[in-house]
Copies of this chain bind each other. A is one copy, B any other.
């Protein structure tokens, strides 16, 4: 079994109002200079598969078909045997 850790992020050209709101809120905390905040999704899932290649294929397909909107989002993932 493999653990897939997936990060779905907005493409750089897409505006991120949620990120802007968080950036503003961080400013009010007074903890230091933070900018370029971008919000994304993080997904963990367990994939049954005999090989890492198989788990990678399932993860890739789930990302492309379900988790990421290909018009606005990119995805990255890493896979670890568990």
Contact = CB atoms under 8 A, between A and B. Distances in A.
Interface in A16-41: 19, 22-23, 25-26, 29, 31-41
Contacts of A40: 41-44
Number of copies: 2
Contact of A42 (B7, B35, B54, B61): B7
Interface of A: 5, 7-9, 19, 22-23, 25-26, 29, 31-49, 54, 57-58, 61-62, 65-67
Given A26-B62, A66-B26, A67-B22, A38 B43 contact: yes
B42 A46 contact: no
B38 A39 contact: no
